[in-house]
Amino acid sequence: MNSGYLHLSGPLADELIDAAGLRDIRNKVDRGERLDFADGVRLTECRALAAVGLLAHRVRTARHGRRTYYNINQHVNYTNICKYSCKFCAFAAKEGEPRAYLMTGEDVERKVREKLDQPITEVHMVAGIHPTMGYDYYLDVVRGAKRGRPDIHVKAFTMVEIEHMLAISGKSEAEVFADLREAGLGSCPGGGAEVLVDRVHRAVFRDKMGPDRWLATARKVQQNGFKMNATMLYGHIERPEERIEHLIKLRDLQDECGNFMAFIPLAFWPYHTDLENYGHVTTGHLDLRMIAISRLMLDNFDHIKAYWIMLTPSSAQTALAFGANDIDGTVTEEKITHDAGTTAPEVMSVADLHHLIREAGFVPIRRTTTYQDIEVFEDATAGA
């Protein structure tokens, strides 16, 4: 990856992009103009993936140079018991099933304390929608993480979980978000969006909140002062143009609220799900195209994340030359994607993250959840 292609710019890059039929899109990108739906569809159809990648890398380099972010984080999936039965999910279980589990706030505290020997700055917590646990349970889960490590940033709850809390709390929206802030919630991840298109939702996510409700809940989260990420689960039944529709809906909400930190394209892993026989694992070609198109369409998102858990480390590394400027973190014990069959490891060492970033020609930046620099590793031996 430390190749001429990675650093290709100027007239030669323009010539390659133009030869792919993307001159007008290149001109828009160079002028800082917003790409429209038709532009996005053309990027999905362009057979010259390298040209799409060059455009995305141009935008990434203009905004971030060679800086590439990661963090030291821990995942806690506090229950797999869920009242929904989404076709794409291999993680969920019903009460009484042998593999069903439910962690208390004390369990979360113990889980966080297990890693006190590591310089973890973030705990990422998402889970199923338990059919009977009350509102206070969710607050206790957050408090448990903060008791285990008072200085930790708690990034927790998909929009599905937030909507559920709002529904069962018996409190106003403002009171619920005040309770979450008091308990120690710092920000929200972007899961639960899946594909923000009604056709896809009806076919695959029928039990789950639809596109309008996801966007409305994300708006509430941001209007109440919380930052969050956004995602898209791609590679199942959605059509290429529906991916563009999803991106534009997120872009519009970012114009309105401005509190999305990063966008994370999530490659679908079908194993052990009801969609296992529908298709195939996403290809590297599609994964890189999704990263590149996300960078080009989401002009108001600072950060595009190549989530190595779902992409695999090697594809995530390559994605750094296709528009991504974040490779996520050490993760430590992720369950949801592994239940669906990902071949990626459950944890990545800091040394391995540095190796991936440096070998691709970039500079590792250890960050906070909200993208403040903790340490910049310019020296090729630092932190390895």
Q: Could you tell me the CATH number of the domain that includes residue 186?
A: 3.20.20.70
Cα separation, 51 vs 55, whole angstroms = 6
Q: What is the percentage of the chain residues whose pLDDT exceeds 90?
A: 75
Q: Kindly indicate the confidence band of residue 46, based on its pLDDT and cuts at 50, 70 and 90.
A: very high
Find the range with the poorest average confidence among 297-301, 358-362, 376-380.
376-380
Give the chain's end-to-end CA distance (angstroms, integer): 19
Q: pLDDT tens across 120-169, in order?
A: 999 999 999 999 999 999 999 999 999 999 999 999 999 999 999 999 99
Name the amino acid, one letter, at 66.
R
Domain-located, residue 7: no
The pLDDT assigned to 84 comes to 78
Domain-located, residue 199: yes
Integer CA distances (angstroms), 323 to 18, 60, 271, 358, in order: 19, 5, 28, 16
The pLDDT assigned to 185 comes to 99
Domain-located, residue 325: yes
Cα R_g (the chain), whole angstroms: 20
Find the range with the poorest average confidence among 172-176, 219-223, 377-381.
377-381
The pLDDT assigned to 85 comes to 73
Q: pLDDT tens across 339-352, in order?
A: 444 444 567 899 99
Domain count, the chain: 1
Name the amino acid, one letter, at 336.
I
The pLDDT assigned to 120 comes to 96
Residue 380 has pLDDT above 60, yes or no: no
Domain-located, residue 93: no
Domain-located, residue 103: no
Domain-located, residue 45: no
Average pLDDT score, the chain: 90
Residue 337 has pLDDT above 70, yes or no: no
* Residue of 317, 262, 240 whose CA lies nearest to 284: 317
Q: Which residue has the higher pLDDT, 34 or 346?
A: 34
Residue 329 has pLDDT above 50, yes or no: yes
Q: Which residue has the higher pLDDT, 19 or 335?
A: 19
Domain-located, residue 129: no
Tokens of 268: 């679908």
The pLDDT assigned to 99 comes to 86
Residue 326 has pLDDT above 80, yes or no: yes
Full domain range(s) for residue 228: 64-69+155-268+287-376
Cα separation, 252 vs 28, whole angstroms = 19
Mean pLDDT across 107-116:
97
Q: pLDDT tens across 261-282, in order?
A: 999 999 886 655 556 566 567 8
Residue 41 has pLDDT above 50, yes or no: yes
The pLDDT assigned to 148 comes to 98
Mean pLDDT across 187-205:
91
